[in-house]
Structure 1
Amino acid sequence: MHSYTVEPLYVKSGQEVIAADFYRPKTEHKPAVIIMAHGLAALRQFKLIQYAQRFAQAGYAVVLFDYRYWGGSTGRPRELVSIQFQLEDWRTMIAHIFERKSVDNRRIVLWGTSLSGGYVLNLAAELKNVQAVIAQIPFVDGAESAKLYPLQKLPKALKISSQDYMGAKVGMAPKTLPVVSHKDLCFMPTADSYSGYLSIVNPDYYWSGEIPARIFFNLMRYRPILDVRKISVPVLFIASKQDSLIPIESSRETATNIAPFVEYHEWDMQHFDIYHGQWFEKAITTQLEFLHQYIGVS
């Protein structure tokens, strides 16, 4: 087991500055590096710290970052989710790490979960300087996930999303929706999502629990599944059989499209279980085995 340090890292992305934590294992050789960011509306100080720590202890460098508008990164309005800008932030961080002298840039791994799991699949299909991908419970097809949204609530959600989008064009304050809620209209209205999402929130850091509604439309149109046939690097894909947000059929189809480059696992858990207890331990064990096989520790 390696000891490691955690250093602050700030990287310019467009007009904004991206805040990250750089986990550096104490080793004689330049380590492989895993780049990580959270899913929808989450901060780097939520549940990804536990993954980063375990990877660093195993000898891998880790860069765990906040998207613009979130956490320690700059940008307004705060807590805005933009698929376009978040993908741009990923590209910026990858380019920065590729030029960094303290890590082995021939061994860059992208790690994503839920929405960021979709991002890393997109990026693996696009970029040539990525050596492997870990995608756990990835958001792969917004059109199919939208079919799980309660039909009676969908028109109102779309109306608020449209109002927020149009209002932003003329400088109005954002119209927001809760990420999760027991009773109110929200982004994740399924029975297990309320307690599940709150179980990953770190109460020591500010998080309003609401985000501008305009992203609702873009999430429905976001379909990484359409690009994954272009992937030609090893992919570890962990799906949830009892996922109320991502249809298991979409995960299976995506994995089929990545073949023969995919190692696919399907576990009998709900969407947020993988951050806790036995499922977290199983995930870490599986991910480290994948990393040791395809990337390795010098």
Structure 2
Amino acid sequence: MHAYTVEPLYVKSGQEVIAADFYRPKSVQKPGVIIMAHGLACLRQFKLVQFAQRFAHAGHAVVLFDYRYWGGSTGRPRELVSLQAQLEDWRTMLMHVAQRKSIDSRKIVLWGISLSAGYVLDIASENKNIQAVIALNPFVDGAESAKQYPLPLLPKALKISSQDYMGAKVGMQPKSLPVVSEQELCFVPVAGAYEGYQSILHSDYYWSGEIPARVFFNLIRYRPMQNLRRIAVPVLYIASKQDSLIPLEISREAATNIAPYADYHEWEMRHFDIYHGKWFEKAVAVQLDFLNQHIGDG
């Protein structure tokens, strides 16, 4: 077990400033580094710290960041999810980390979960400067995930998304939708999603539970699946057999597209189980083995 420090990190991305935590093992001269960020509408403190701590204990540096518009990062409107901006934040953080003298820039790993796992696979398909990728329950095909959306609610969701998109063009206040809800129209109206989000929230950090509706269109159109064959680095891919957000068939197809670089696992769990209990412990053990294999043990 390595002792480590956690330092605040602020990185310019476009007109905004990205806030991050830099976990740095004290006894490792130039460690490999894992860059981490969250999925849809989440802060870095929502259960990602537990992963970062375990990686740092094992001797790996970690940079855990919030996207612009979220948490400690700047940008307005607050809690806007812009896929384009978030991908740009990933590229910015990757470039920043690669230039840091205190880490081994030949040992950079991208880590994502759900939507951010889609992002890191996308970045890996276009970038040769990373050593490996860890993707947990990746969102790889918005068109397929949209088929999980209850059909009677879809026209309403598309209408409010369109209104918010057009309103944003002329400077109107955002029209928002709940991320999850027990009764209302929301972004993720599938079994277990409301309880799943509740299980990862952190009461010390503000979260409205709503985001501007315009991203609904972009999520449906976001398909990292189309770029997976370009990936040429090792990918640890963990899928959930009982995932109500991401069809298992799509995860299997994605892993096939990444072959021979995919180290693919599918477990008898639901989408949010990987943050908790035995599934969290199992996931950490598998990830540490993968990291040891590809960037050493700190």
Quote how far apart the aligned CAs of 1:29 are.
1.9
What's the secondary structure of 1:199's corresponding residue? Answer: helix
Is 2:288 the counterpart of 1:288?
yes
What is the match of residue 119 of structure 2?
119
What is the match of residue 75 of structure 1?
75
CA contact (8 A) 2:28 2:59 kept: no
Quote how far apart the aligned CAs of 1:191 are.
2.1
Q: Which runs of 4+ in 1 moved over 2 A?
A: none
What TM-score do the two structures reach when normalised by structure 1? 0.99
Distance in 2, Cα, partners of 1:126 & 1:292? 24
Quote how far apart the aligned CAs of 1:170 are.
0.2
Distance in 1, Cα, partners of 2:70 & 2:118? 19
Distance in 2, Cα, partners of 1:111 & 1:45? 15
The one-character-per-residue Cα deviations of 1:231-284 (angstroms, maximum 9, x if unpaired) are: 000000000010000000110000000000000000011000000000000000
Q: RMSD between aligned alpha carbons?
A: 0.6
Amino acid at match of 2:79: E
Quote how far apart the aligned CAs of 1:297 are.
2.6
What is the match of residue 60 of structure 1?
60
The one-character-per-residue Cα deviations of 1:49-72 (angstroms, maximum 9, x if unpaired) are: 000000000000000000000000
What is the match of residue 26 of structure 1?
26
Equivalent positions of 1:1-298 (< 5 A) are 1-298=1-298
Amino acid at match of 2:171: G
Distance in 2, Cα, partners of 1:76 & 1:147? 31
The one-character-per-residue Cα deviations of 1:49-103 (angstroms, maximum 9, x if unpaired) are: 0000000000000000000000000000000000000000000000000000000
Gaps of at least 5 residues in structure 2 are none
Amino acid at match of 2:58: A
Aligned length: 298
Distance in 2, Cα, partners of 1:257 & 1:293? 22
Amino acid at match of 1:182: E
Distance in 2, Cα, partners of 1:10 & 1:120? 21
Point out the more displaced range, 20-29 or 84-93. Answer: 20-29
Distance in 1, Cα, partners of 2:191 & 2:236? 28
Distance in 1, Cα, partners of 2:296 & 2:198? 35
What's the secondary structure of 1:152's corresponding residue? Answer: helix
Report percent identity of matched pairs.
76
Quote how far apart the aligned CAs of 1:126 are.
0.4
What's the secondary structure of 1:53's corresponding residue? Answer: helix
